[in-house]
Structure 1
Amino acid sequence: MLRIGCHLSSSKGFLAMARTAEDIGANTFQFFTRNPRGGAAKEWKKQDVEAMLAFCEKKGIGCLLAHAPYTLNACAKDEGIRRFALETLEDDLRRLSLLPGCMYNFHPGSHVQQGAQKGIELIADTLNQVLTREQTTTVLLETMAGKGSEVGRSFEELSRILERVELSDKLGVCLDTCHVWDGGYDIAGKLDQVLEEFDRILGLERLKAVHLNDSLNGLGSHKDRHAKIGQGEIGLAAFGRIINHPRLRDLPFYLETPNELEGYQAEIALLRGLYE
């Protein structure tokens, strides 16, 4: 079964998101835990969360993915920004205890002229402060395109973070197709080799989710500009191979393409038609 969905707005609540997912043919979805450009978050209504969980169980919707705000930067040079990242991670993990089985994805951050190694150390230090043995939420580091001073531009950088985290069994990786392509990994022409490299450096057991995005730019461009499926440099045929690859096909896939709901619905139907 192809587990596929897209990014949905949580502004109208959890049950509304689940109903929207069903309406567009999705059987999973991703959502921001708070305003992606902001800070404070409203408390989640337990009744709304419980209603959503019951609806999802009835409709076969699962593998939900929460996404941290873009403003979260665990390796910022500014101590106040790092403090915001730590407090946000702590608060989000507390909230996500209401959603059993939900994963939590975040961008590792930008080291801002401190150097990648310092950024890696700061990210790992933050994770060591927020992860607990009791938590049930798996936290995912996202693969990045490598623009500016982003950390996570290579499998090696992600591995170096994981090596420094004491409770690394609570961590996984979300592979973003646009990001890895822009980062120089040829998932269109050399998918098997890329996955073999991922397995050698990180271990494919760490790969828990995939963001499906085409790219407006060429291989190794380090730009991070998403395109609609089949309308970018990666190409439709490559996405057919990705969702059907024996080492990927059972993972949940989340669209983050530049679309409204109608566009997501069309892409979900397109990809279901390619799934064998």
Structure 2
Amino acid sequence: MYIGCHISVGKGIYAAAERAVELGARSFQVFSKNPRSLKPKKIDYEDAEKAVRFMKERDLKLILHTPYITNLSSPKEDLTEITISSLKEDLHIAEVFGSPGAVVHVGKHVGEGEEFGFRRMVETLNAILGDYNGPVKLLLENTAGQGSEMGLTLKELMRIREATDVADKIGFCFDTCHGFAAGIWNGETYGELVEEMEKTGYLEHLMAIHFNDSKAPFHSRKDRHEKIGKGEIGSEALSRFIHDPHFQSLPIILETPVEDEWEYRDEMEYIRTW
């Protein structure tokens, strides 16, 4: 099983890959650029080539995460243009780094209404992926439903994907905390969640899992990550993902709150005791 964690890429992607191995991770995630900025990033191609070789030798899986501030449904035309440019660059970075997917948060309608948000999101995805022919997929992440966030349910995420002209270039990343906060699963309804993943076709396109407990209660619509087993979801419910054969080949990435990345090592060891 490819249990891993989020790693800083501040010292380069090769150093991040080495760090992941030091922590005992089988997979890891890095940001494509500053998570609070859409400004372009200079790529060290030599460092990336070295990292890709290292990851292949160690059977280490990588997932790229695009900046938090990305909004696929922005009502501002200038911001939409910047978003399109930024995500095109992110796809290129993912390709250079050897990641099969680039995770992006689903859009916020910012008071313009869900119909507008849906339409703008589809238009933006078409603009980003229309002329992209590389191997990387853009991975839509389910949301907790804070503010005007869209994409809470699997059906809505599938509807977004199917409404585009580029569905074959879109996959998914499932966040356990977001899904719990959005009210789409808990320990009692885990089986129903997986059944819906299969029935809607979502599971076929699922490429990564963000594995987080939740500080906020079920259906609170608050995105508050917590360490595994110390939150409202609990170890028993979360362990079902680890035991489920559907997810054995996917990178399962911890994004839990830590002051030092070494804390992830203890969490991963704890999960493996399951």
TM range (shorter): over 0.9
The equivalent of 1:190 in structure 2 is 189
Matched, 1:61 2:57: no
SS of the aligned residue for 1:37 comes to: coil
Deviations 1:173-208 (A, max 9, x none): 110000000000223222111111222234310111
CA contact (8 A) 1:133 1:167 kept: no
* Whole-angstrom distance in 2 between the partners of 1:70 and 1:261: 20
% identical equivalent positions: 36
Which is worse superposed, 132-141 or 45-54?
132-141
* Whole-angstrom distance in 2 between the partners of 1:147 and 1:255: 21
**Match runs of 1:48-87 below 5 Å:** 48-62=47-61, 64-87=62-85
Of residues 94, 103, 116 in structure 1, which corresponds to 2:101? 103
SS of the aligned residue for 1:35 comes to: coil
* Whole-angstrom distance in 2 between the partners of 1:220 and 1:198: 19
CA contact (8 A) 2:171 2:207 kept: yes
Letter of the aligned partner of 1:265 in structure 2? Answer: R
Letter of the aligned partner of 1:169 in structure 2? Answer: D
Matched, 1:265 2:265: yes
Which is worse superposed, 103-112 or 154-163?
154-163
| 1:19 positional shift | 0.7
* Whole-angstrom distance in 2 between the partners of 1:133 and 1:70: 22
CA contact (8 A) 1:75 1:122 kept: yes
| 1:101 positional shift | 4.5
The equivalent of 2:32 in structure 1 is 33
TM-score, normalised by the number of residues in structure 1: 0.94
The equivalent of 2:141 in structure 1 is 142
Letter of the aligned partner of 1:58 in structure 2? Answer: E
CA contact (8 A) 1:35 1:41 kept: no
CA contact (8 A) 2:24 2:265 kept: yes
Deviations 1:144-197 (A, max 9, x none): 001110011112221221111112111111100000000002232221111112
Q: 1:182 to 1:231 in 2, by over 3 A?
A: same
| 1:133 positional shift | 5.5
Deviations 1:236-260 (A, max 9, x none): 1112111111222332100000012
Q: 1:85 to 1:133 in 2, by over 3 A?
A: closer
TM-score, normalised by the number of residues in structure 2: 0.95
* Whole-angstrom distance in 2 between the partners of 1:134 and 1:234: 39
SS of the aligned residue for 1:208 comes to: strand
Structure 1 unmatched runs, 5+: none
The equivalent of 1:128 in structure 2 is 126
Letter of the aligned partner of 1:270 in structure 2? Answer: Y
**Match runs of 1:123-272 below 5 Å:** 123-131=121-129, 132=131, 134-259=133-258, 260-272=260-272
CA contact (8 A) 1:120 1:157 kept: no
* Whole-angstrom distance in 2 between the partners of 1:157 and 1:142: 11
| 1:135 positional shift | 1.4
* Whole-angstrom distance in 1 between the partners of 2:14 and 2:132: 29
SS of the aligned residue for 1:127 comes to: helix
Q: 1:144 to 1:202 in 2, by over 3 A?
A: farther
| 1:103 positional shift | 1.1
Deviations 1:192-225 (A, max 9, x none): 1111122223431011110000001111100010
| 1:76 positional shift | 1.2
Letter of the aligned partner of 1:116 in structure 2? Answer: E
The equivalent of 2:86 in structure 1 is 88
Supply the RMSD in Å over aligned alpha carbons: 1.4
